[in-house]
């Protein structure tokens, strides 16, 4: 009896060890940024929340999020903070990391009021380490000298480290801010980065050659949806190609999930589609990325006349990239039709 019990306990222990992975999800929130980071111990932080409260509530259900210890707003723009509101209301996180620069919008006010009501403490970004269980999160505050009042150039960055694995995300920072960071931090402190979130949804005022040569990304994830701004720009895509990085886009690939094992080995899985372009070989000192693309969706020629037809087919809500999605079904242009 004792022997069976011991065997059972050992099995349980090995299952728990097998689950000891860091999971980073670049959530498909349409045009906006939202990254869910869950430690092997099951602690979560959310870096930006996208532009839709409804969409974030769906994602909370879809990924069965049970707790959030910290929410981070890279800056106060609506496409980064709106989805943080339901997260704060539902999970009452301990901390709300921010750049210290208040927004004037109603959604900003709603977020700070929600944090106040939830008893969540504010935390202005400074050079600081936050341990999310066994995952090391280094806060990258805006460098000195940024133009007062500008949100983008006061974006808060996060460097995520687990074993040899490194991920970097820097909000909607612009050239002035990344140049400031290059002066503040040695290039070796920044790169090479295994998984990198494209700056500002691939805008032309975000990533630039000097910055990317310090970051040296193996994989770039662009959080982007239907938009009027031309994101991602051909300039940004050309930079990532030149860097030899595999590129994932949430508008084409849906949510992009990175699973990191304790040593730092990692896999990248997409909800749909493949990364583009195929990564070129680049000498790396760290873990080898394994790209596991999802099966492309079948029946791509489906089209629906209206939302009634979509609902009748049991396909509502219908997301960009899914068979039958079209702009006419997506009146608010957030990448989700027939909501």
Partner 1 sequence: MTRQKRKPAPHPDPLPLGLLIIDGLEGEIARVELPSGVTQDIALSQLPAGLKEGDVLLVTEAGAVIDHTETQRRREGAQTQLDALNAQAPSGEIDL
Residues 335 and 58 sit within 8 Å (Cβ to Cβ): no
Residue 301 dihedral angles phi and psi, to the nearest 5°: -90, 5
If one asks whether residue 124 binds partner 1 (CB under 8 A), the answer comes out as yes
Residues 132 and 69 sit within 8 Å (Cβ to Cβ): yes
Closer to partner 1 at the Cβ: 107 or 316?
A: 107
Q: In the complex, what is the shortest distance from the CB of residue 189 to partner 1, in angstroms, rounded to a whole number? A: 17
If one asks whether residue 131 binds partner 1 (CB under 8 A), the answer comes out as yes
Task: Single out the segment in contact with partner 1 by CB under 8 A; choices: 9-17, 227-235, 292-300, 310-318.
Answer: 227-235
Query: Cβ-count burial of 14 within 10 angstroms (0-12 exposed, 13-18 middle, 19+ buried)?
Result: exposed
What is the Cα–Cα distance from 224 to 267, expressed in whole angstroms?
21
If one asks whether residue 79 binds partner 1 (CB under 8 A), the answer comes out as yes
If one asks whether residue 104 binds partner 1 (CB under 8 A), the answer comes out as yes
Task: Single out the segment in contact with partner 1 by CB under 8 A; choices: 54-62, 131-139, 158-166, 297-305.
Answer: 131-139
Q: In the complex, what is the shortest distance from the CB of residue 88 to partner 1, in angstroms, rounded to a whole number? A: 11
Closer to partner 1 at the Cβ: 152 or 255?
A: 152
Instruction: Give residues with Cβ within 8 angstroms of 260, minimum separation 6.
Output: 21, 22, 23, 24, 162, 163, 165, 266
Find the binder of partner 1 among 21, 90, 94, 235 (CB under 8 A). Answer: 94
Closer to partner 1 at the Cβ: 53 or 194?
A: 53
The tokens of 16 are what? 């728990």
Report 250-309 residues binding partner 1 (CB under 8 A).
none
If one asks whether residue 117 binds partner 1 (CB under 8 A), the answer comes out as no
Query: Taken in order 119, 171, 247, 223, is the CA torsion positive or negative?
Result: positive
Find the binder of partner 1 among 116, 280, 282, 288 (CB under 8 A). Answer: 116
Instruction: Give residues with Cβ within 8 angstroms of 69, minimum separation 6.
Output: 43, 44, 45, 93, 94, 95, 132
Closer to partner 1 at the Cβ: 101 or 187?
A: 101
Q: In the complex, what is the shortest distance from the CB of residue 263 to partner 1, in angstroms, rounded to a whole number? A: 22
Q: Cα 284–170–67 angle (5° rounding)?
A: 100
If one asks whether residue 55 binds partner 1 (CB under 8 A), the answer comes out as no
Under the rule (CB under 8 A), what is the footprint of partner 1?
A: 43, 45, 51, 69-70, 77-79, 94-96, 98, 100-110, 112-113, 115-116, 120-124, 128-133, 149-152, 203, 228-230, 332
């Amino acid at each position: 009896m004792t022997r069976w019990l011991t065997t059972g306990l050992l099995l349980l222990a090995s299952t728990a060890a097998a689950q000891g992975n860091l999971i980073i999800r670049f959530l498909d929130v349409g045009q906006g940024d939202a990254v869910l980071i869950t430690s092997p111990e099951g602690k979560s932080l959310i870096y930006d929340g996208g532009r839709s409260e409804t969409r974030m509530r769906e994602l909370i259900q879809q990924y069965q999020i049970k707790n959030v210890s910290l929410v981070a707003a890279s800056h106060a723009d609506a496409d980064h903070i709106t989805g943080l509101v339901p997260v704060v209301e539902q999970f009452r996180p301990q901390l709300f990391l921010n750049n210290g620069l208040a927004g004037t919008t109603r959604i900003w006010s709603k977020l700070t009021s929600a944090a106040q009501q939830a008893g969540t403490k504010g935390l202005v970004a400074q050079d600081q380490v936050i341990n999310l269980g066994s995952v090391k999160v280094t806060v990258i505050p805006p460098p000195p000298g940024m133009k007062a009042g500008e949100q983008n150039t006061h974006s808060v960055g996060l460097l995520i480290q687990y074993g040899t694995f490194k991920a970097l995300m820097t909000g909607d920072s612009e050239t002035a801010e990344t140049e400031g960071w290059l002066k503040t931090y040695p290039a070796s402190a920044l790169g090479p980065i295994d998984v990198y979130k494209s700056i500002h949804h691939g805008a032309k005022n975000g990533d630039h050659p000097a910055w990317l040569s310090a970051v040296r990304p193996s994989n770039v994830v662009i959080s982007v949806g239907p938009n009027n701004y031309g994101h991602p720009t051909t300039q940004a895509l050309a930079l990532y190609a030149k860097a030899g990085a595999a590129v994932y886009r949430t508008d084409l690939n849906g949510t992009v999930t990175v699973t990191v094992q304790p040593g730092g080995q990692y896999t990248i899985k997409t909800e749909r589609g493949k990364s583009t372009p195929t990564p070129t070989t680049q000498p790396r000192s760290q873990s080898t990325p394994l790209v596991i693309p999802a099966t492309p969706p079948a029946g791509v020629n489906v089209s629906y006349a209206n939302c009634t037809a979509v609902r009748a087919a049991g396909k509502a809500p219908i997301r960009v990239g899914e068979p039958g999605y079209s702009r006419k079904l997506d009146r608010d242009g957030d990448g989700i039709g027939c909501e």
